[in-house]
Structure 1
Amino acid sequence: MAGQIIVGLTGAPVSRRVVDWAIARAAERKQAIQLISVVGGAIGTVGEAEVLGAAQTATQQLLESEADRIRQAGVAVTTRVDSGNPVTKLIEASADAGLLVIGSDYRGAGTGPARGVHGIRIAAGSKSPVVVVPDRDLGEGDGVVVGIDGSTVSEHAIEFAAAEADRLREPLIAVSVWTPLHTPRNAMEVYPDLYLANMQSMAEEVLAMSLAGLASRYPDLKIIRRAERGHPSQVIGDIAQDARLVVVGTHGRGAVARFLLGSTSQEVLSYLPTVTAVVR
């Protein structure tokens, strides 16, 4: 993937995990990193300039500290302190990036959904793929999970996931989820076997068609196909609990798209099962 890795940093504890993830990827793919931190909240009130200046100085010191770690790993790095709306600034920066990496305060099951909507809005509006790193120890993990629905966006997610799985020398776990037609209570307590069998068959066909040709491009890649019944975000999230990475696609069309994701990608981001990539 061409372009540098943009890393959006704050003073939150998760920032160190974000930088660690970016270092590992940049070192393997010979990419440069740019650290960006945005000082927000300025409204132009009297006396604000001094406060803003102090905040920018402290932020630059934070970036330089992380930049030193990156240089020690042999990765080229630049830093940039900006002011304004963090969502807008990071979306603008993503236009020239190969990848945007941000953190989340989410610490796992039982802690509730990730606070705030900034990460979801950034992922929805970004011009590049976005990786979101949760604030917890994930261990080694096993495999790269990708959600597949047969769409063009799904094709982009597959390509991203396959490249990452190949880089990490992990299996690619391709998941297609089918959901029975919803009916009012008691309308159909038992679905016909033929209907269920056909739904399962269609999901398996989606996997076969979507993954065709992948083995020739990644001959050493192990591919695991899973066609599952259930709600897409829940099934993908459950499978991804023990994975190194999960990749989901989002359409992101139209003017409203910068604030909206598809339901599956938004739900996965709200309860991050592991490091999560959102690909358009």
Structure 2
Amino acid sequence: MGEAIVVGITDAAVARRAVDWAAQRARERRRPLELVTVVGGAVGAVGEDSVLAAALEEARERVEHEASRIAADGLVVRTRVERGNPVAKLVDASADAALLVIGSDYPGQGSRAARGAHGLRIAAGAHCPVVVVPDADAAGRSGVVVGVDGSPVSEKAVAFAAAEADRLGEPLIAVAVWTPLEAPRNMGSYPAEYLENMEKLTAEALALSLAGLGSRYPDLEIVRKVERGYPSQIINGLAGSARLTVVGSHGRGALARFLLGSISQEVLGRLATVTAVVR
């Protein structure tokens, strides 16, 4: 994993939000920032050369404009213009990055349209953590929400979220969600003992996942939440008032690396705030 924070730039308005988020983090972490824009769609048709040349020139102007807009306070900014498939090129760029930041034109809670497939594929296939910035104002929001399920990738998500919460001076809101088995129709209500044990086991797993954070980040406020329900709904409910949300990707192996776990995909599909996907 490299040192640079890479930002995917498009002509969408949300690109500026993504650049601003990444630039702020790069300054605070003292990391270089690389702005990447990709011109795709070329198929080699007759007469395409002039169109492609104009598109590349426009892309260079766009990325250079963004670089000059944020260059300040000693921030090192590099730019790159690529040709090809935008998903593949950004996934490739993530191989040498500390973090990949992309924008989403999804305007947040209340919108009926779910996030498109390109962003999900980038988040699933990237070699480093991916931050997705929605086209919504997060002013006045507080807290870093992290979904915890006790898996190895969840541990990485907790570590990422704790570092971000400490950096931002925000509380870490760690949420573990338990979902009871679907009760048979002839069963009636759940046994009280079963529900109590499910909640207890989830609380214990959450405590174990958070062990050691207090000593590493002595000033970090940690809010523990054990909720009954469906994970993505609970996480997005909390994310609606949060500054950042962190989830883990459960991709495994050459093929599965390009697939998000269902919970991560559902969280990104209804993007409630700036959201990081950690693998």
Q: TM-score when scaled to structure 1? A: 0.97
Q: Which residue of 1 aligns with 2:193?
A: 194
Is 1:128 matched up with 2:103? Answer: no
Partner of 2:94: 94
Match status 1:164 vs 2:149: no
User: 2:251, 2:260 within 8 Å by CA — same for their partners in 1?
Assistant: yes
Corresponding residue number in structure 2 for 1:61? 61
Aligned length: 279
C-alpha distance in structure 1 between counterparts of 2:236 and 2:67, whole Å? 33
2:41 corresponds to 1:41: yes
Write the deviation string for residues 160-194 of structure 1: whole angstroms up to 9, x where unpaired: 0000000000010000000000234x233311110
Q: Give the AA of the match of 1:38.
A: V
Is 1:276 the counterpart of 2:275 in the alignment? yes
Paired residues of 1:105 and 1:114 also in contact (CA < 8 A): no
What is the CA-CA distance between 1:100 and the residue it aligns to? 0.1
What do residues 18-59 of structure 1 show as CA deviations (whole Å, max 9, x unaligned)? 011011101111011000000000111111111111000000
| Distance across 2 between alignment mates of 1:147 and 1:279 | 11
Q: Among the aligned pairs, what percent are the same residue?
A: 63
How far residue 115 of structure 1 moved from its aligned partner, in angstroms, is 4.1
Counterpart of 1:144 in structure 2 is 144
Asked if the contact 1:23–1:73 (Cα under 8 Å) also holds between the matched residues in 2, the reply is no
Moved more, 253-262 or 79-88: 253-262
Corresponding residue for 2:241?
242
Q: What do the CA deviations read for 1:32-91 (whole angstroms, capped 9, x no partner)?
A: 100000000011111111111100000000001100122135311010000100110000
**Farther off after superposition, 65-74 or 225-234:** 65-74
- Output the CA distance in 2 between the equivalents of 1:116 and 1:19: 20
CA RMSD for the aligned pairs? 1.3
Structure 2 SS opposite 1:242: coil
Structure 1 Cα separation of the partners of residues 59 and 18 of structure 2: 16
Unpaired runs of at least 5, structure 1: none
- SS of equivalent to 1:187: coil
Letter in 2 for 1:194: E
Q: SS of 1:221's equivalent? A: coil
Q: Give the alignment's TM-score, normalised by structure 2.
A: 0.97
Segments of structure 2 that go 5 or more residues without pairing to the other structure are none
User: 3-state DSSP class of the match of 1:72?
Assistant: coil
Partner residue, 2:232: 233
Read off the aligned partner of 1:207 and give its amino acid letter.
L
Change (3 A) 1:20 1:73: farther
Letter in 2 for 1:32: P
Indicate the SS of the match to 1:259: coil
Contact kept, 8 Å, 2:115 with 2:268, in 1: the verdict is no
**Which is worse superposed, 113-122 or 156-165?**
113-122
